[in-house]
Amino acid sequence: MCNSVLFVVCVELLRFILTRSHSRGPFSLPLFTQRVALYQGPNTSTAKIRLRTRLVVTLLFGGGLLGTWWYVRNEKQQNHRMQRIEQLKKVALGQGDFSLLDHRGHRRTKRDFLGSWVLLYFGFTHCPDICPDELDKISAVVSALDKDRSLPAVQPLFVTVDPERDDVAALERYVKEFHPRLIGLTGTPEEVKVAGKDYRVYASPGPKDEDGDYIVDHTILIYLVNPDGLFLDYYNRMKDDVQIAESVRNHMKSYVKLSE
């Protein structure tokens, strides 16, 4: 509605500026008949100059109005994004700390990842199809964002919900088949539970079959965490890598603006 009001105001102002003449009232003659009258008079050149000035003034004014509209629109979009971030902050996921082992056997805590943008996914290596799909998706997002040199590098993380089977060696075998920067994280069942609880991740191992194999039912979400360690956004199975990359890019741009 705001846009249409602005548009109408623009049109009226343009009409006002273009149809104004010295002798008559403001809205008397349309431009066409005015031009005909001008050509008939002796002082045509000054009249033409006056027309040119009017056109220049109109263009500058129109440009100014367009600029204002653009600025207002951007402000509105920014406000909308800030509101969403505030809402997600209230949900307050990922406020705690975690202490896990990465796929090379090094201890890592949440602090180690501060200063980086993180894409976090919880899954398990015996997963039939969903986890490989989601990790491929994350790899594609990270690769796409890497191409843009103006953006900071994103750190993808894979935390297991199956610490019984996914030890350091298992994770090492698993993560090397995805993006080279992907870090796998595991630990004792307690440590893993703490990390999962922090992001309200649901995980439930299913019944074991004769081989001792089982499938873990779990939350399928990719979490975006900013360099301050704050949870900012999440992406479900419906979002493809292009949409996620776009969303991360927008978050990164808003983040820079905030800290200025």
Partner 1 sequence: MSAPNSNQRKACWGARDELWKCLDDNQDNASSCEKFQKEFEASCPAQWVKHFTKRRDFLKYKDKMQTEGFEPADGPKESRS
As annotated, the binding site for Cu cation includes: 127, 131, 218
212 lines the binding site for partner 1 (CB under 8 A): yes
Residue whose CB is less far from partner 1, 42 or 212? 212
170 lines the binding site for partner 1 (CB under 8 A): yes
Supply the DSSP string of 91-146, one letter for each residue: HTTT-S--EEEETTS-EEEGGGGTTSEEEEEEE-TT-SSHHHHHHHHHHHHHHHHH
Q: How far is it, in rounded angstroms, from Cα 160 to Cα 167?
A: 9
152 lines the binding site for partner 1 (CB under 8 A): no
122 lines the binding site for partner 1 (CB under 8 A): no
Of 20, 81, 126, 193, the residue at the interface with partner 1 (CB under 8 A) is: 126
235 lines the binding site for partner 1 (CB under 8 A): no
- What is the nearest approach in angstroms of partner 1 to the Cβ of residue 211? 6
190 lines the binding site for partner 1 (CB under 8 A): no
- What is the nearest approach in angstroms of partner 1 to the Cβ of residue 148? 27
- What is the nearest approach in angstroms of partner 1 to the Cβ of residue 15? 55
Residue whose CB is less far from partner 1, 19 or 125? 125
Binding residues: 127, 131, 218
Region of 37-45, 53-61, 146-154, 173-181 interacting with partner 1 (CB under 8 A): 173-181
Region of 10-18, 58-66, 120-128, 140-148 interacting with partner 1 (CB under 8 A): 120-128
Q: 34 is written with which tokens?
A: 């005015």
Residue whose CB is less far from partner 1, 190 or 211? 211
173 lines the binding site for partner 1 (CB under 8 A): yes
Residue whose CB is less far from partner 1, 190 or 209? 209
Residue whose CB is less far from partner 1, 170 or 221? 170
Q: How far is it, in rounded angstroms, from Cα 61 to Cα 77?
A: 24
Q: Residues binding partner 1: what is the number (CB under 8 A)?
A: 17
Give residues 10-49 in contact with partner 1 (rule: CB under 8 A). Answer: none
Residues in contact with partner 1 by the rule CB under 8 A: 125-126, 128-129, 132, 165, 170, 173-174, 177, 209-215
